[in-house]
């Protein structure tokens, strides 16, 4: 019997987190959920924060539950989270306040300010990164504009997964894939761009050493081991940005051109490249070049994913209508198709709130049929999201000058079969959906590579393909979808 290797993957999303135990037998991965918890950001005054110490408590709970379940032979631990957000530490290694949530409003107007100070083209040529109001660059610029006193005493900056790695091991490092989301990393050197920081009046001495995915950060500290009753387990810097881990799990072993969509609250759609694509066309389309596993570049676009559906469901719950997602999908199938569309990336839908009302207001403002019932609203959102995926797929083909053969969808969002079916029909391409637990699976693959149990990313993807089911969706009703797409394009733009 082959030796079994166990690794523990922590995956933090915008609304929940999980600790997943992976067991590798040399050919396949098996997965067991050890701990799942909500991730509840906190509004304090006018500021929106992550409850970082509570999240660290949940990490310790995950380790403790795993050990108590008899798995003391864990060989490694890896942590991935969402991008851009960070904490600042003083010279004694103490955290200086709760990290801000990327949806905090303090970055409003910072993109325009950066454009005035440096020019957007200069920033893009340096970093290769898409302009999002929440990028780390703009968070620092907002702190500088507000004369935040924390900047004066900060000694180190750590992104969210870096914070958790530090609290577990006592070692401060910045992992490459998460750092690449910041718009502060030079896309060519893969190191901090000090010239850009100086132009933005950001202190340059708080940014630490960058390590690549698969680097062992250190071992659990003595204090952690004593508290949790566990051995000194190595902590690996995985693809610490959740999308980097998710893309590492895409089960592609053949050499063909495809797009991936890592879908959940956000939808990250792109193509994997061997080197950055920093051209005028890329800049015009506002694509991003983020770091991936094994030197790969995640050439992609951030799209508002299932957030609008999730937030609509929460609004209806506040009104006393406690629908399940299945209820909403069934209602949507009963609604008339192609009556109205929204731009999922419109600022109207970025913040929490009454999403159904905002959808109706958008449709009224753009001279469309105004959806009223839950089914019409969900169908409007699902169709609009699928058409946005087509716009991004068309842009990838235009930029790279290569046709896409298929679309691989991974992550929890593939449980929404309507969106998967609509994506196939909207793009006119075969959609291959799976695995569901893509991020934690990619996280585990990188840990096993660090341990020498998997020899390459290609081998890792073959193992994922052997281990988890993939569902295929083919395009339907091409004539009506193509006709509706022309109407959709009049409502929204990609740039």
Q: Same domain for 211 and 254? A: no
pLDDT in tens, 336-361: 999 999 999 998 998 889 999 999 99
Domain that holds residue 75: 5-240
Q: Are 199 and 93 part of one and the same domain?
A: yes
Q: Among residues 167, 179, 155, which one has the least CA distance to residue 96? A: 155
CA 353 from centroid of its chain's CA atoms:
21
CA 104 – CA 107 distance, rounded (Å): 7
Sign of CA dihedral 341, 346, 348, 354: positive
pTM of the complete model: 0.93
Q: If you compute the radius of gyration of the chain from its CA atoms, what whole number of angstroms results?
A: 22
3-class DSSP string for the chain = CCCCEEEEEEEECCCEEEEEEEEECCCCEEEEEEEEEECCCEEECCEEECCHHHHHHHHHHHHHHHHHCCCCCEEEEEEEECCCCEEEECCCCCECCCCECCCCHHHCCHHHHHHHHCCHHHHHHHHCCCCCCCCHHHHHHHHHHCCCCHHHHCCEEEEHHHHHHHHHHCCCCEEHHHHHHHCCECCCCCCECHHHHHHCCCCCCCECCEECCCEEEEECCHHHHHHHCCCCCEEEECCCEHHHHHHHCCCCCCCCCEEEEEECCEEEEEEEECCCCCCHHHHHHCCEEEECHHHCEEEEEEEECCHHHHHHHHHHHHCCCCCCHHHHHHHHHHCCCCCCCCCCCCHHHCCCCCHHHHHHHHHHHCCCCCCCCHHHHHHHHHHHHHHHHHHHHHHHHHHHCCCCCEEEEECHHHHCHHHHHHHHHHHCCEEEECCCCHHHHHHHHHHHHHCCCCCCHHHHHHHHHHHCCCEEECCCCHHHHHHHHHHHHHHCCCC
pLDDT tens digits along 165-209: 999 999 999 999 999 999 999 999 999 999 999 999 999 999 999
Whether residue 454 is contained in a domain is answered as no
Do 208 and 252 lie in a common domain?
no
- Condensed to tens digits (0 to 9), the pLDDT of residues 381-440 reads 999 999 999 999 999 999 999 999 999 999 999 999 999 999 999 999 999 999 999 999
Q: Is the pLDDT of residue 1 over 60?
A: no
**Across 4-19, average pLDDT:** 95
Strands 74-80 and 406-410: unpaired
177 belongs to a structural domain = yes
For residue 403, is it within any domain?
A: yes
| 319, 359 Cβ separation under 8 angstroms | no
Residues 234 and 347 in one domain: no
Same domain for 124 and 86, yes or no, is yes
Among 178, 207, 240, residue at a domain's last position: 240
Predicted local distance difference test score (pLDDT) of residue 254: 81
Domain check: are 257 and 389 in the same one? yes
- Taking alpha carbons only, the member of 201, 235, 208 closest to residue 117 is 201
Nearest-angstrom CA–CA distance, 10 and 12: 7
Q: How far apart are CA 235 and CA 170, in angstroms?
A: 11
Residues labelled catalytic? 242
CATH number at residue 312: 3.30.420.40
pLDDT, position 494: 58
Whether residue 234 is found in the same domain as residue 250: no
Residue 73 has pLDDT above 90, yes or no: yes
Q: Last residue of a domain, which of 223, 240, 257? A: 240
Residue where one domain finishes, among candidates 190, 213, 240: 240
pLDDT at position 256 is: 81
Residue 311: inside a domain:
yes
The answer to whether residue 99 sits within a structural domain is yes
What mean pLDDT is predicted for residues 436-453?
98
pLDDT at residue 445 greater than cutoff 70: yes
Tell me the average pLDDT across 49-53.
97
Q: Tell whether 232 and 257 lie within a shared domain.
A: no
Q: How confident is residue 15, by pLDDT bands cut at 50, 70 and 90?
A: confident
Same domain, 312 and 224: no
**Could you tell me if residue 195 is inside a domain?**
yes
CB 298 within 8 A of CB 270: yes
Q: What is the mean pLDDT of residues 288-316?
A: 95
pLDDT above 60 (res 495)? no
The mean per-residue pLDDT over the stretch 248-264 comes to: 92
- Per-residue CA distances from 431 to 92, 261, 474 (Å): 50, 10, 6
Based on the domain organization, do 15 and 35 belong to the same domain? yes
User: Do 253 and 218 sit in the same domain of this protein?
Assistant: no
- 8 by Cβ neighbours in 10 Å (0-12 / 13-18 / 19+) ranks as buried
320 and 297 together in one domain: yes
Structural domain includes residue 101: yes
User: Count of domains in the chain?
Assistant: 2
- Residue percentage of the chain with pLDDT more than 90: 95
- Find residue 407's DSSP bridge partners: 259, 431
């Amino acid at each position: 019997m082959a030796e079994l290797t166990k690794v523990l993957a922590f995956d933090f999303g915008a609304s929940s987190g999980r600790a997943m135990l992976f067991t590798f037998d040399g050919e396949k991965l098996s997965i067991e959920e050890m701990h799942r918890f909500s991730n509840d950001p906190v509004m304090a005054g006018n500021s929106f924060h992550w409850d970082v110490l509570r999240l660290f408590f949940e990490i310790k709970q995950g380790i403790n539950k795993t050990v108590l379940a008899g798995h003391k032979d864990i060989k490694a631990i890896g942590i991935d989270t969402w991008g851009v957000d960070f904490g600042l530490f003083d010279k004694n290694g103490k955290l200086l306040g709760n990290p801000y949530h990327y949806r905090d409003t303090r970055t409003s107007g910072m993109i325009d300010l950066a454009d005035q100070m440096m020019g957007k083209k200069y920033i893009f040529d340096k970093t290769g990164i898409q302009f999002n109001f929440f990028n780390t660059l703009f968070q620092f610029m907002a702190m500088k504009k507000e004369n935040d006193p924390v900047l004066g005493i900060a000694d180190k900056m750590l992104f969210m997964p870096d914070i958790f790695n530090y609290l577990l091991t006592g070692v401060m490092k910045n992992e490459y894939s998460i750092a690449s989301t910041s718009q502060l990393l030079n896309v060519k050197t893969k190191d901090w761009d000090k010239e850009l920081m100086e132009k933005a009046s950001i202190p340059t001495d708080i940014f630490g050493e960058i390590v690549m995915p698969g680097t062992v950060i250190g071992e659990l500290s003595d204090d952690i081991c004593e508290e949790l009753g566990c051995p000194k387990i190595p902590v690996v810097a995985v693809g610490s940005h959740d999308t980097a881990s998710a893309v590492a799990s895409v089960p592609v072993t053949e050499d063909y051109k495809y797009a991936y969509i890592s879908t959940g609250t956000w939808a990250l759609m792109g193509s994997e490249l061997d080197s950055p694509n920093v051209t005028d066309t890329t800049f015009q389309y506002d694509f991003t070049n983020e770091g991936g596993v094994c030197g790969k570049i995640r050439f992609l676009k951030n799209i508002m994913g299932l957030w609008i559906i999730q937030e609509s469901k929460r609004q209806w719950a506040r009104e006393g209508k406690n629908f399940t997602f299945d209820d909403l999908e069934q209602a949507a199938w009963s609604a008339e198709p192609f009556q109205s569309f929204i731009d999922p990336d419109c600022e109207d839908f970025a913040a929490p709130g009454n999403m159904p009302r905002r959808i109706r207001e958008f449709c009224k403002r753009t001279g469309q049929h105004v959806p009223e019932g839950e089914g019409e609203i969900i169908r409007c959102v699902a169709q609009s999201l699928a058409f946005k995926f087509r716009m991004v797929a068309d842009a990838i083909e235009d930029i790279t000058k290569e046709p896409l053969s298929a679309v691989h969808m991974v992550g929890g969002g593939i449980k929404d079969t309507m969106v998967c079916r609509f994506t196939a029909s909207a793009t006119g391409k075969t959609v291959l959906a799976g695995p569901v637990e893509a991020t934690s699976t990619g996280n585990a693959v990188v840990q096993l590579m660090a341990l020498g149990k998997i020899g390459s990313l290609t081998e890792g993807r073959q193992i994922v393909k052997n281990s988890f089911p993939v569902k295929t969706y083919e395009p339907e009703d091409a004539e009506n979808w193509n006709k509706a797409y022309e109407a959709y394009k009049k409502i929204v733009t990609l740039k």
